[in-house]
Amino acid sequence: MDYKDIPFLESILRHDWIALPIFGIATFFALYFWADKLLVKLYEKSQGKKTSIIMHMKLLGMDVDEKKVTRMLLLSSFGLGFLFFIATWPNVLVGFFLGISAGIAGFQLPPIIFKSLYEKRCNLFVEQMVDGLTIMANGIKSGSNPQQSMQRVVEIMGNPISAEFGQVITQTQFGQSFEEALTDLSVRIPRPDVQMFVVAINILKETGGNLSETFQTIVLTIRERQKLEKKISAMTAQGVMQGIIVTSIPFLLMGVFYALDPDHIMPMFTTTLGLLFLAAMLGLQIIGGVMIKKIVTIKV
């Protein structure tokens, strides 16, 4: 049932100068009674997101400014939600719904972006390890120690392996042991191949052994793992594309219906029942997308 079916509500809501103060007063009292719990929950969430962003920024080697991170979170959440609310004015219900949805999505977006950048850096580091460990193995064959061979990698190769190996060497120059510096490297790049590389050097430095052959074995293991990952990626590409298509079909159909017959689709945005169905649709779409992603994601 639409509010237009009730004459009293229609007479109130059709005038902005009446509807807006009522909406503002209702929002004020809602915030007044629920402000403490709401602020505590928002603070905990914002601190968790802020900590995640700062951690990934440090791991990426970026300059960290907590005030800028806070402003970025505010702009991506409240700023984006306010823009959506203004864009749909004077439809308050649609603006409120889209504003909250955009604000929640914008609040989740920065940590996801920085985490994806960090994951991309870690994956690139592992890919560079094939050439980097080959250079180290050749250096050790020629009589260099692991630190000197690592310095050679820093001089020849690019980031991120050059920056990470350079930090290991810098830590040793400031008095930290080579083993501890390598352990810090395994913390910054938490990948099984990096763990294997660090453990191999630390063990062989204590017990003795052929580092050159060990590095060549690690290179072979990384190459075989990369071949398997590419094979899995090719096999799951169809499932990934199907997930993208299935997730995007409702939004495409909504756009087509709106272009062909706007009056037919507008009740979904202008009535309470329509907004409930829209919220349910978005929730089910998100759940379905996450489930499809989990199915097609196979860790090696």
pLDDT for residue 119: 87
Task: Spell out the long-range contacts of 205-213 with Cβ–Cβ below 8 A and sequence spacing 24 or more.
Answer: 205/146, 205/178, 205/179, 211/136, 211/137, 211/140, 211/146, 212/137, 212/138, 212/140, 212/141, 213/137
Within a domain: residue 133?
Answer: yes
Q: At which of 223, 240, 264 does a domain end?
A: 223
Within a domain: residue 145?
Answer: yes
The band of 38, judged by pLDDT with boundaries at 50, 70 and 90, is low
The count of domains in the chain is 2
Mean pLDDT (the chain) is: 76
Q: At which of 161, 191, 223 does a domain end?
A: 223
Reply yes or no on whether the pLDDT at 300 is more than 70: no
Within a domain: residue 272?
Answer: yes
Pair (252, 300) in one structural domain: yes
Within a domain: residue 84?
Answer: no
Render pLDDT for 52-62 as a digit per residue (tens, 0 to 9). Answer: 777 777 777 77
Pair (205, 132) in one structural domain: yes
Within a domain: residue 278?
Answer: yes
Q: Which of 6-10, 81-85, 109-113, 221-225 has the lowest mean pLDDT?
A: 6-10
Q: At which of 203, 223, 243 does a domain end?
A: 223
DSSP track, 65-113: -HHHHHHHHHIIIIIHHHHHHHHTTT-HHHHHHHHHHHHHHHHHHHHHH
pTM for this prediction: 0.66
Within a domain: residue 151?
Answer: yes
- Which domain does 250 fall in, by range? 224-300
Render pLDDT for 123-169 as a digit per residue (tens, 0 to 9). Answer: 888 888 888 888 888 888 887 787 888 888 888 888 888 888 888 88
Within a domain: residue 117?
Answer: no
